[in-house]
Amino acid sequence: MKNIAVFASGNGSNFQAIIDAVQDGSLTASINLLVCDKPNAYAVERAKAAGIEYFAFTAKDFSDKQAYETEILAKLAEYKIDLVVLAGYMRLIGPTLLSAYEGRIINIHPSLLPAFPGKDAMGQALRAKVKVSGVTVHYVDAGMDSGPIIAQETVDLTENETIETLQEKIHRVEHQLYPAVIQMLVSKSREEVKNG
């Protein structure tokens, strides 16, 4: 079974969806670690409630990104992490983690990339008055939401769409799509190992 670490900065609703998928057996992976850059984030409470180990840190306690990513890397090694899953982690991943986990870090983004990368993707979609947006799961590279796309699902916007209604639609899709993509990746890599 593959070991995953989830990185989150806030409420952690995608983290919860992944926990639920593991608990109901639709995701055959072990969540060994939560990494959170906001010690008071609700995601930490979700980890505690599920009995998942967590590493919560404050970036400004470290001299630079390399310093805290080195610390994170040590935790990933300690918990034997195979796949890093970003779920609302609001920091760009730096070279320290990217080089150690190349091709093994994924992210979920609330738009159909390459449209609306970066922060406030849903607000960007509303301001652009698009009729369709959606969700993208992609590999992480050095850019902002620019890595190779793994899966996408669309969400239709209505005439009177608000940020709240769009958020609800996007979350509904994310909470189904992300665990399914993670399952695909952990089974695929297991097959590759078996056939290798």
| Cα–Cα distance measured from residue 15 to residue 144, given in angstroms and rounded to the nearest whole number | 21
SS3 150: strand
What single-letter amino acid sits at 176?
Q
Instruction: Please count the other Cβ atoms lying within 10 Å of the Cβ belonging to residue 162.
Output: 11
Rounded Cα–Cα distance for residues 21 and 183 (Å): 9
Residue with tokens 């992609």: 138
CA dihedral defined by 153, 2, 58, 139, rounded to 10 degrees? -40
Fill in the amino acid letter for 35: V
Enumerate the β-bridge partners of residue 156. Answer: 132
Beta strands 105-109 and 83-86, pairing class: parallel
Catalytic hit among 109, 138, 171, 175: 109
Residue 109 annotated to the active site: yes
Give the whole-angstrom CA distance, residue 56 versus residue 39: 5
**Catalytically annotated residues:** 109
